[in-house]
Amino acid sequence: MELVESADGTRIALDRAGTGPPLVIVLGASCDRSTSKPLAGLLASSYTVYEYDRRGRGDSDDGRPLSIEGEVRDLAAVVAAAGEAPFVYGHSSGASLALEAAARGVAMRRLAVYEPPYTGDYDPGPEFGRHLDELVAAGRRDAAAEQWLAATGSTPAIIESIKSSPGWAQRQALAHTLSQDLRLANNGRMPVERFVRIEIPVLVLAGGASPSWAQSTTATLAGSLPHATEHVVDGQQHIPPDPVIAAILESFFF
């Protein structure tokens, strides 16, 4: 583990592994840098892979109040540690964060994003984020994590399965960051007016078996960004298998 300092002094924990040009992975809700280890392992033979804990997660500093601007500065600090403009892969709210960073001029060589959660009318709105924060403040992290899953479309059976899994403790531990993931979703509306500034090549990915908003977002991004390509991954949903994503990234980044 290494620590890099963001512009406001927040320390960001990262791991680097492999050899080759730098590649930074930016993950979404209820994830820290341990989540991406299998994907990083598949990519490390071709890239120097950087995995990091977004502020408030894992071994990074708390960094509250959480904000998009603060997280953009954190990603910029990770990019600086790489020593040159990296390839970047963002998933879900991590995809939104990577897009926001690219639009603000954070150096990247190429960017691939998978289903940034601009869900339109399905977005629960900022009041839901405030509600989650209130649950966390009251010590009800379990309720916050469970209600988040329900809001994202998980069925009661899936939620019960997740609650009985080893990953449930991590979801509860990271419940205080959920409102930030919701903030990155921009009330479900894609901030096209910012993203059109992105001049690097962008690969916009969605699963073919994902909800309709995912393909709609992919098409809108691909049609709005000056150098974007759309790729719908047959048969996949919001969390695709790591070997599938690794193969797509290898093809796009080289």
Tens of pLDDT, residues 211-251:
999 999 999 999 999 999 999 999 999 999 999 999 999 99
Report the C-alpha gap between 107 and 193 in whole angstroms. Answer: 19
Phi, psi of 200 (to 5 degrees): -85, 160
Q: How far apart are CA 189 and CA 31, in angstroms?
A: 23
Phi, psi (deg, nearest 5) at residue 205: -115, 145
Is a pLDDT exceeding 90 seen at residue 195? Answer: yes
Q: 155 to each of 143, 149, 158, 160, 199, how far by Cα in Å?
A: 15, 8, 5, 9, 39
Q: What is the mean pLDDT of residues 54-78?
A: 96
pLDDT at 254: 84
pLDDT of residue 166: 92
For 62, other C-beta atoms within 10 Å of its C-beta total 12
Two tokens, residue 69: 């601007």
Mean pLDDT, residues 196-221: 96
The string of pLDDT tens digits covering residues 101-133 is: 999 999 999 999 999 999 999 999 999 999 999
Q: In terms of Cα–Cα distance, which of 246, 24, 30, 235 is closest to 144?
A: 30
Q: Would you state the structure tokens that stand for residue 222, as one six-digit string?
A: 């691909």
Given this model, what pLDDT does residue 227 score?
A: 97
In the three-class reduction of DSSP (H, G, I as helix; E, B as strand; rest coil), residue 206 is classed as: strand
Against a cut of 0.95, is the pTM above it?
yes
Averaged pLDDT score across all residues of the chain: 97
> Among 184, 175, 117, 187, which Cα is nearest to 147's?
175
Give the residue from 174, 237, 214 showing the smallest Cα distance to 35. Answer: 174
Per-residue model confidence as pLDDT tens digits over 25-46: 999 999 999 999 999 999 999 9
Q: Check: CB of residue 33 under 8 Å from CB of residue 58.
A: yes
Establish how many alpha carbons lie within 13 A of residue 211's alpha carbon, considering only the half-sphere containing its beta carbon: 13
pLDDT at position 61 is: 97
Q: How far apart are alpha carbons 112 and 230 in whole angstroms?
A: 10
Task: Measure the CA–CA gap between 201 and 111, rounded to whole angstroms.
Answer: 6
- pLDDT higher than threshold 90 for residue 183: yes
Whether the Cβ atoms of residue 232 and residue 218 lie closer than 8 Å to each other:
yes
pLDDT of residue 64: 87
Query: Does pLDDT of 13 surpass 90?
Result: yes
Q: How many CB atoms lie within 10 A of CB 112?
A: 24
% of the chain beyond a pLDDT of 90: 97
